[in-house]
């Protein structure tokens, strides 16, 4: 069995025994490097290797043995730690599929959530998949880590393998390309490697920035790129920066990257992050009934899609272990320690923080209440409604944590969460309520600017 086939089967067994979510987040960061004397060597980032070894090491060993049908041990190492004898065997059958990393079947165009930050990248990738080497060649997609670049690469590959199986599609990370190149140089099989890779109809290269400062590897990649491009083959490349910012690469290679379509995928905004979470919940059957809880995760984890989905997994796992529903209160409890910098995050506009007393005063005056009434135990509609609006505005615009807001109103944490979520719902469903809250937002920020000038 070839090494990529073994790893693909291991991945499938792991998904059945553990979960697709864990495989998507962690196993996707690992790659098979060698199979030697009953040992499957995997490489990957330091973080992925340490996490998988600590949490899933024994499980991964069992999955690999079942996939192989024999005793097998999995060892996670950096590329520099690979034993000298541990090389991907050049004596495998002639197709040498070990030159290709496996595609993740979950990364498809159907699973890609489209928004303002990524719609151009998605459209370009789909055009390439439908018409390889005719639409955009090369296609260079760049953006910050975790925004969906790898998803689009796999989506192109999966689409072509389903719609046009006769087309030779190859997917490699730049790190894997470099590792294989070093391996074939040592084994004196460089010619086989060149011939095999240059038979590709579509070559997908992920994280090309890792070719920087690797002179020999970069040169080989340049010649491979030229051969395929001149032969009318499709190339799709992802990177964490623009071609011009790859200042450690040779000018000739950067010019090749810029000769096609260069497109950016930006970080997702609040609306897209919420849509991504809803898609994950629906596709993976994660038991979350409260959409507001998903919105709260989207607010608290703005970094990237990978972090966002990781937060959803953590929250749903904790809720399952506790036998509790996924609520905004649970989200805040769990993410306060993981993402403390987003406690009391301002979600609608990046406006200056407003002290809670300013908010209380503005709301009280607007509704013709005294501060004492606003903070009292009075539960009548005349007082309770404005109080909830004041709590909501404090959550959105004070920059304070939920416990601090609760203390300022003489309430507990859950009361503030309930008030915040109720006003959010009212704003969505009632235009009059939305107008009232928006006018108060203008008032509190106007009064704060006046206070700042006076001070």
- Hey, where are the domains in the chain? 3-86, 119-264, 270-339, 356-454
List, in sequence order, every beta strand (DSSP E) within 28-120: 30-36, 39-44, 73-76
Question: Which among 104, 203, 99 is positioned nearest to 151, based on CA atoms?
Answer: 104
Mean pLDDT by 10 residues, the chain (455 residues): 79 83 79 82 82 83 84 82 53 43 80 88 93 90 88 93 88 85 83 86 92 88 91 93 88 90 87 84 75 81 76 78 77 67 44 80 88 90 91 85 86 87 79 74 64 46
Q: Tell me what pLDDT residue 1 has.
A: 56
pLDDT of residue 191: 87
**What dihedral angle (degrees, nearest 10) is formed by the CA atoms of 314, 301, 441, 430?**
-50
CATH of domain 270-339: 1.10.8
**What residues are paired with 267 via a beta bridge?**
none
> What order of strands is seen across the sheet that includes strand 30-36?
30-36, 39-44, 73-76
The DSSP bridge partners found for residue 171 are 204
The predicted pLDDT at position 99 comes to 54
Question: Rounded to whole angstroms, how far apart are CA atoms 341 and 317?
Answer: 23
Based on its alpha-carbon atoms, the radius of gyration of the chain, rounded to whole angstroms, reads 27
Residue 229 DSSP label = H
DSSP 88-107: --TTS-TT-GGGSPPP-TT-
427: its two tokens = 């704003």
pLDDT at residue 330, as a whole number: 77
Return the residue matching tokens 């923080």: 353
Instruction: Name residue 139's beta-bridge partners.
Output: 236, 261
pLDDT score recorded for residue 455: 44
- 3-86: CATH, from 3.30.300.180, 3.10.310.30, 3.20.20.80, 3.40.50.300: 3.30.300.180
What are the C-alpha distances in Å from 41 to residues 18, 76, 196, 288? Answer: 21, 6, 23, 38
Q: What is the CA angle 366-370-373, rounded to 5?
A: 115
What's the pLDDT score for residue 160? 92
Tokens of 442: 């203008």
How far is 380 from 17, CA to CA, in rounded Å?
A: 54
Three-state DSSP at 63 gives helix
Exposed, middle or buried, 360 (CB in 10 Å: 0-12/13-18/19+)? buried
Q: Are 268 and 147 in contact (CB under 8 A)?
A: yes
DSSP 243: G
Distances (CA, A) of 183 to 193, 331, 399: 10, 46, 53
Scanning 134-189, the segments in alpha helix (DSSP H) are 149-163, 174-187
CATH assignment of 356-454? 1.10.1750.10
Q: d(Cα 400, Cα 350) in Å, to the nearest integer?
A: 14
Residue 167, SS3?
A: coil
Helices 291-300/270-284 angle, 10° precision: 130
Reference 142, options 120, 160, 158, 159; nearest CA is 120
Under CATH, which number does the domain 119-264 receive?
3.40.50.300
- pTM of the shown model: 0.56
Bridge pairing between strands 169-173 and 30-36: unpaired
| Angstrom distance (rounded) from CA 284 to CA 309 | 11
Q: How many helices (H) and strands (E) does the chain have?
A: 19, 8
């Amino acid at each position: 069995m070839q090494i990529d086939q073994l790893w693909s089967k291991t991945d499938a067994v792991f998904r059945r025994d553990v979960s697709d979510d864990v495989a998507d987040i962690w196993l996707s960061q690992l790659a098979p490097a060698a199979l030697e004397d009953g040992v499957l060597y995997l490489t990957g980032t330091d973080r992925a290797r340490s996490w998988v070894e600590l949490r899933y090491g024994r499980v991964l060993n069992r999955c690999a043995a079942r996939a192989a049908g024999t005793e097998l041990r999995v060892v996670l190492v950096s590329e520099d730690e690979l034993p000298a004898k541990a090389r991907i065997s050049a004596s495998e059958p002639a197709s040498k599929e070990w030159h290709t990393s496996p595609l993740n079947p979950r990364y498809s165009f159907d699973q890609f959530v489209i928004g303002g930050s990524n719609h151009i990248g998605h459209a370009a990738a789909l055009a390439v998949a439908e018409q390889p080497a005719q639409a955009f060649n090369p296609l260079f997609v760049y953006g910050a880590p975790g925004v969906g670049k790898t998803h689009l690469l796999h989506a192109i590959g999966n689409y072509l393998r389903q719609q046009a199986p006769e087309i030779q599609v190859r997917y490699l990370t730049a790190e894997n390309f470099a590792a294989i190149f070093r391996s074939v140089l040592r084994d004196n099989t460089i010619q086989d490697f060149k011939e095999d890779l240059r038979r590709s109809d579509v070559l997908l290269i992920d994280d090309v920035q890792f070719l920087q400062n690797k002179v020999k590897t970069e040169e080989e990649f340049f010649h491979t790129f030229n051969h395929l491009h001149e032969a009318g083959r499709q190339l799709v490349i992802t990177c964490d920066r623009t071609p011009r910012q790859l200042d450690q690469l040779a000018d000739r290679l950067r010019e090749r990257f810029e000769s096609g379509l260069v497109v950016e995928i930006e970080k997702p905004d609040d609306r897209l992050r919420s849509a991504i979470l809803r898609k994950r919940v629906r596709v993976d059957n994660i038991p979350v009934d409260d959409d507001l809880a998903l919105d709260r995760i989207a607010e608290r984890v703005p970094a990237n899609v990978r972090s966002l989905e990781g937060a959803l997994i953590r929250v749903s796992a904790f809720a399952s272990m506790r036998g509790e529903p996924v609520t905004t209160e649970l989200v805040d409890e769990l993410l306060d320690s993981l993402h403390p910098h987003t406690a009391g995050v301002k979600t609608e506009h990046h406006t200056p923080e407003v002290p809670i007393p300013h908010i209380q005063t503005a709301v009280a005056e607007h509704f013709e209440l005294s501060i004492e009434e606003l903070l009292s135990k009075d539960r009548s509609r005349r007082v309770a409604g404005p109080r909830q609006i004041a709590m909501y505005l404090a959550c959105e615009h004070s920059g304070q944590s939920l416990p601090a807001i609760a203390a300022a109103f003489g309430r507990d944490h859950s009361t503030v969460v309930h008030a915040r979520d109720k006003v959010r719902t009212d704003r969505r469903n009632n235009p009059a309520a939305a107008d009232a809250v928006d006018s108060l937002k203008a008032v509190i920020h106007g009064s704060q600017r006046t206070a700042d000038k006076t001070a």
